[in-house]
């Protein structure tokens, strides 16, 4: 199959590598010859490193590179059976591109967008034959991250979902299906990991080192929320939060924080800037956590409860299936457990009680318990029935 990729930035180049590894011929188009050149050199370097590490033979690496063609000529995409778009996150740019792709490509070609935050339905609306448009959301870096969210638009032919899922499995990926709603699965369900941690910090209930310690040592997460936000970059992480908040018609559950907004204002964008929540300069002293087990448990449980509530609500609103919700969080962001399995293990009524206590204390809508969780708590049901 010929796979066309539009955009040779971080995502486009990564997806091109994945498709070529799966044995396809890949044509990467970018309007910027400099970005194409950079992507081509970067890919050669990555493969050189894999050969040096012994994870690829030199022949396999060479063969892979010969399967990828980088081009500044749009018409070179014309024979592609699939095109995956990974250009700038801007709706009008993507719509214009999809309309042009539809005119260029064969009528049975599949047109996919790698958008993280835009409506796939709105992108598909730019095409006359919108039934062949859908979202295929890879995670960064695409060659390493297993999860792929497959997002049918309102107009998508339902049969296409299975075709794309099967192809993603053939590419070595773990596909999950998400409804076309803001943040799809991962970028929606993960919001409280950042938001609630910042809220605890803003209230002065604990400092960031203590919250990070609690989430790692007690929660079992690989990174604490403040470390992770610094690693992702506050420009990126804040923009995702802000766009999810706006896209949910300003639901207070997703409200961004001033603490993070100020970091962005100051240019303290995280590790890459030498400063974020933490200071990364060589002589900086890393703050020590207060390793109080009771405090740690309270912090971790509060954040986990908010995450469970978000996952339960996504299930309640049929954003994704139970299994896909749990798979998305364990494979997409390496959570130690699926959140719905975690709810069963901790006791659903215990989650409900915690959320109700927070709601009672703050009288804020962000702590509203999902109707599904409340009903399950009341009736003693579990997400996964015991064998």
Ligand X SMILES: NC(=O)c1ccc[n+]([C@@H]2O[C@H](COP(=O)([O-])OP(=O)(O)OC[C@H]3O[C@@H](n4cnc5c(N)ncnc54)[C@H](O)[C@@H]3O)[C@@H](O)[C@H]2O)c1
Q: Which residues bind ligand X (CB under 6 A)?
A: 6-12, 30-32, 35, 86-89, 93, 97, 114-116, 138-140
CB of 12 to ligand X, least distance (A): 6
Active site residue 119: no
Q: Rounded to an integer, what distance in angstroms lies between the CA atom of residue 344 and that of residue 325?
A: 14
Active site residue 24: no
- Number of neighbouring beta carbons within 10 Å of residue 215: 25
Active site residue 137: yes
CB of 285 to ligand X, least distance (A): 31
CB of 60 to ligand X, least distance (A): 25
End-to-end CA distance of the chain: 43
Q: Which is nearer to ligand X, 30 or 227 (CB)?
A: 30
CB-based contacts of 283: which residues, under 8 Å, 6+ apart?
none
Q: Which helix (H) or strand (E) holds 311?
A: helix 293-316
Three-state DSSP state, 343: helix
Q: Nearest-CA neighbor of 72 among 45, 39, 49?
A: 39
CB of 296 to ligand X, least distance (A): 30
With 0-12 / 13-18 / 19 or more C-beta atoms within 10 angstroms meaning exposed / middle / buried, residue 258 is exposed
Q: Which is nearer to ligand X, 88 or 363 (CB)?
A: 88
Q: Rounded to an integer, what distance in angstroms lies between the CA atom of residue 156 and that of residue 173?
A: 21
Q: Which is nearer to ligand X, 33 or 336 (CB)?
A: 33
Nearest residue to ligand X on Cβ basis: 9
Alpha helix locations (H) across 171-287?
Answer: 186-189, 191-202, 208-213, 225-232, 234-247, 258-266
Q: Rounded to an integer, what distance in angstroms lies between the CA atom of residue 18 and that of residue 3?
A: 11
Kindly name the residue from 102, 149, 167, 196 that is annotated as catalytic.
149
Task: Let me know how many helices (H) and strands (E) the chain has, helices first.
Answer: 17, 8
Q: List beta partners, residue 25.
A: 2
Q: Which is nearer to ligand X, 175 or 219 (CB)?
A: 175
CB of 185 to ligand X, least distance (A): 13
Kindly name the residue from 116, 119, 126, 243 that is annotated as catalytic.
116
Kindly name the residue from 8, 137, 243, 370 that is annotated as catalytic.
137
Active site residue 116: yes
Kindly name the residue from 119, 187, 243, 370 that is annotated as catalytic.
187
CB-based contacts of 206: which residues, under 8 Å, 6+ apart?
200, 214, 290, 295, 299
Q: Which is nearer to ligand X, 149 or 344 (CB)?
A: 149
Q: Which is nearer to ligand X, 9 or 287 (CB)?
A: 9
CB of 141 to ligand X, least distance (A): 8
Which residues are catalytically annotated? Answer: 116, 137, 149, 187
């Amino acid at each position: 199959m010929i796979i066309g990729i539009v955009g040779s930035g971080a995502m486009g180049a990564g997806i091109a590598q994945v498709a070529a590894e799966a044995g396809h011929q890949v044509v990467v188009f970018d309007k910027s010859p400099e970005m194409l050149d950079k992507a081509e050199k970067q890919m050669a370097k990555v493969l050189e490193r894999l050969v040096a590490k012994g994870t690829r033979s030199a022949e396999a690496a060479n063969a892979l590179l010969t399967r990828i063609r980088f081009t500044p000529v749009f018409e070179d995409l014309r024979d592609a059976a699939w095109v995956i778009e990974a250009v700038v996150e801007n709706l009008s740019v993507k719509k214009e591109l999809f309309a042009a792709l539809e005119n260029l490509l064969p009528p049975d070609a599949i047109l996919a967008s790698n958008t993280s935050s835009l409506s796939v339905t709105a992108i598909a609306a730019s095409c006359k034959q919108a039934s062949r448009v859908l979202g295929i959301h890879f995670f960064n870096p695409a060659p390493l991250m297993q999860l792929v969210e497959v997002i049918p638009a309102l107009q998508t032919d339902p049969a296409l979902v299975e075709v794309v899922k099967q192809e993603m499995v053939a590419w070595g990926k773990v596909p999950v299906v998400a409804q076309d709603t803001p943040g799809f699965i991962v970028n929606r369900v993960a919001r409280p990991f950042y938001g609630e941690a910042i809220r605890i910090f803003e209230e002065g209930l604990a400092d960031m080192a203590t919250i990070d310690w609690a989430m790692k040592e007690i929660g079992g997460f690989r990174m604490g929320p403040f470390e992770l936000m610094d690693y992702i970059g506050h420009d990126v992480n804040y923009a995702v939060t802000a766009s999810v908040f706006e896209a949910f018609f300003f639901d207070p559950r997703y409200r961004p924080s001033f603490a993070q907004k100020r970091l962005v204002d100051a240019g303290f964008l995280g590790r890459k800037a030498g400063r974020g929540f933490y200071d990364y300069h060589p002589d900086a002293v890393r703050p020590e956590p207060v390793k109080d087990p009771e405090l740690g448990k309270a912090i971790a449980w509060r954040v986990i409860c908010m995450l469970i509530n978000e996952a339960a609500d996504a299930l309640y609103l049929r954003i994704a299936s139970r299994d896909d919700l749990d798979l998305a969080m364990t494979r997409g962001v390496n959570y130690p457990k699926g959140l719905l399995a975690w709810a069963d293990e901790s006791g659903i009524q215990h989650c409900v009680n915690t959320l109700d206590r927070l709601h009672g204390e703050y009288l804020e809508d962000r702590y509203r318990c999902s109707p599904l969780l409340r009903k399950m708590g009341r009736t003693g049901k579990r997400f996964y029935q015991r064998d």
